[in-house]
Structure 1
């Protein structure tokens, strides 16, 4: 029952996030800002507080991580409006006013400020807009965070806790289901870092999500390689950060997402079996998902879990490349220009530069005559 409740709430939440990301004004940019805020705070906290500080004994770095982790609301209220194109002064004013609040109130306050801040630039004269805007935005941002904080704790955070409880009660089943779903989210235009940050996922559930993104990156690499979805640069990019290859992913959803469910699910099983804990919300991405667990688990156990996750992701990629090979669309337009074409163009330019205007005109006339002769020959052959 807990599994059904946890997965049902997760799918419902993902649906809401998808609507917000694709339909809300500048929703996708706001989610991108939230993901960046999660990396700037939670990832730094996970590495420096728990690894550099607690594990290695560097007190200074431990303090850096602790302070960074407490600034989630500030970072979100700054980076979300900046991602939406707001004047950085307004964004920083909103952010510094949110000291003491978490990343979710910071996200919501930052999003609202991101929508209304441009009005100050339009309605107020130059110079005066900065002063009045700063004086009004600071209390407004904190008022929004103060009002939204209880609502967030009663909804999104509660959903995240229920998912975590389900993962604890049925780790292997949730490992496969949660791992598969989160890897699909990780590869889709909807940021998995933003989703897990908004849900406040921690513990085993966050460990499953992070390790699934690590193992699933090999699924994506194999799918891109075997189905010829791009060149080597595309393969490397999709393994490191899937969002960079969104045009190819959205054109080939069936083979990529279908393989991600299997590869991410198998990788999630590895995290569940070895009980990988991750108390850094928002680190569901290949690189953060690889680094963060070292702050909360025995490094040897993490390495073993990652190895098996890579094996699971590889299996998912190999199986998916066979099952979904007929679904691949390789007709995407590449932004690259062939090297031979560049060399030929350069040679033509150099040749033109060495000729007189009379010679250029003669060559052009000869080319036109050749084209007309070829056309007449083609028409006569047709008759």
Structure 2
């Protein structure tokens, strides 16, 4: 039952996430900024606080990590309006008011500032708009964030908690399906980093998402190479960041998403086998997914898991590409016989 609930809530969250991204004004831009926030805060915190600091004892870098992790709400409230095209001064004003606020309330505040700031600027004289805008938007941003906190705790973070519980109760099933779904999202126009940041995934669930994202990169590489989706530069690019190849992905969604699901699912199972955990939500992408687990697991365990994830990703890519190569050959034979 925990598995069913966890997967159902994940799909529900993904549906909400998709609706916002594609239907809300400037939704894609806002979600892209949220993914950038996760890198600027959670990834920096994971690497420098827990690896450079706890593991290597470099106090200065640990301070860098602690500082970055504590400012997730502030950075979200700044990056989101900037990505939406707002005057940078207004964006910084919105973020400066959000001391000790989490990433999602900061995101909501930043998004609403991104909607109203241009209208406010239009109605005020140019010499007055900056001062009045700053004085109005700062308390507005703080007010929105404060009233959003209990709503986020009761919805998105609760969904994330249920997914975490389901991953612990039924690790094998959740490892495959969660890993597969996260990698498909990673290769879609959506953002797996933004989704995992919104849900606040931690522990084994986030470990699954991280390793799955890394493994799926190699599945993508094999698929692009064998099905001749572009040249070698496209192969490298899709492995590092799938969204750089959005034109190819949207043209060939079925083989790419199918293969990503296989590669991500295998990567998720490997994460479960080695008990990989991560408390850095929002790092579900190939490179962040490779780095963040080192902060929360024994290095030799992570290295072993990553090596096997490469093998698993290559296997998933080979299986997926073989299925569609055979399917394409069958289509050619049928067309030839019909002619």
TM-score (norm 1): 0.84
Q: Which residue number corresponds to residue 332 of structure 2?
A: none
Residue deviations 1:118-177 (CA, integer Å, cap 9, x gap): 112211121211111111000000000011100001110011011001111111111101
Residues in 2 aligned to 1:98 and 1:233: alpha-carbon distance in whole angstroms: 41
Is 2:68 the partner of 1:64? no
How does 1:88-103 map onto structure 2 within 5 Å? 88-103=88-103
1:327 to partner: Cα distance:
6.3
| Paired residue secondary structure (1:324) | helix
Report the counterpart of residue 373 of structure 1 in structure 2. Answer: none
Give me the whole-angstrom Cα distance separating, in 1, the residues matched to 2:293 and 2:156: 23
Query: Where do 5+ consecutive residues of structure 2 fail to align?
Result: 330-339
Structure 2 SS opposite 1:127: helix
1:261-305 Cα distance to aligned partner (Å, 9 max, x none): 111000110001000010000000000000000000000000111
Match of 2:107 in 1: 107
Query: Which residue matches 1:141?
Result: 141
For residues 93 and 16 of structure 1, the distance between their equivalents in structure 2, rounded to whole angstroms, comes to 29
Distance, in Å, in 1 between the alignment partners of 2:127 and 2:296 is: 49
Q: Does 1:230 align with 2:222?
A: no
* 2:78 corresponds to 1:78: yes
Q: Give the drift of 1:199.
A: 0.1
**Structure 1 327/67 Cα, relative in aligned 2: closer, same or farther at 3 Å?**
farther
| Distance of 2:94 and 2:191 partners within structure 1 | 23
* Cα offsets for 1:301-354 (capped at 9, x unmatched): 0011111111111111111111123469xxxxxxxxxxxxxxxxxxxxxxxxxx
2:134 aligns to what SS in structure 1? helix
Alignment of 1:15 with 2:15, yes or no, is yes
Q: Equivalent residues in 2 for 1:1-383 (5 A)? A: 1-325=1-325, 326=327
Residue 248 of structure 1 deviates from its aligned partner by: 0.8
The corresponding residue for 1:377 is none
Task: Please say if residues 179 and 265 of structure 1, whose CA atoms lie closer than 8 Å, have aligned partners that are also in contact.
Answer: yes
Is this contact kept in 2: 1:48–1:62, CA < 8 A?
Answer: yes
Give CA-to-partner distance per residue, 1:224-275, whole Å, 9 cap, x none.
1111111111111110011111111111110000111111000110001000
Distance 1:127 1:324 in 2: 61
- Which range moved further: 126-135 or 35-44? 126-135
Counterparts of 2:231 and 2:135, CA distance in 1: 51
How many Å separate the matches in 1 of 2:51 and 2:237?
A: 27
Per-residue deviation, residues 172-202 of structure 1 (Å, max 9, x unmatched)? 1111010000000011010000000000000
Whole-angstrom distance in 2 between the partners of 1:209 and 1:229: 26
SS of 2:126's equivalent in the other structure is coil
Unaligned runs of 5+ in 1: 329-383
TM-score, scaled to structure 2: 0.95
Q: 1:109 to 1:327 in 2, by over 3 A?
A: farther
Contact 1:252 1:327 in 2 (8 A): no
Number of corresponding residues: 328
Q: Deviations over 1:337-383 (max 9, x none)?
A: xxxxxxxxxxxxxxxxxxxxxxxxxxxxxxxxxxxxxxxxxxxxxxx
Find the counterpart in structure 2 of residue 348 from structure 1.
none
Q: Quote the residue 1:341 is aligned against.
A: none
Q: Which structure exhibits the higher relative contact order, with contacts defined as CA atoms closer than 8 Å and separated by 6 or more residues?
A: 2
In the alignment, the residues of structure 2 paired with residue 243 and residue 260 of structure 1 have an alpha-carbon distance, to the nearest angstrom, of 13
Partner of 2:333: none
CA contact 1:254–1:327 (8 Å) conserved in 2: no
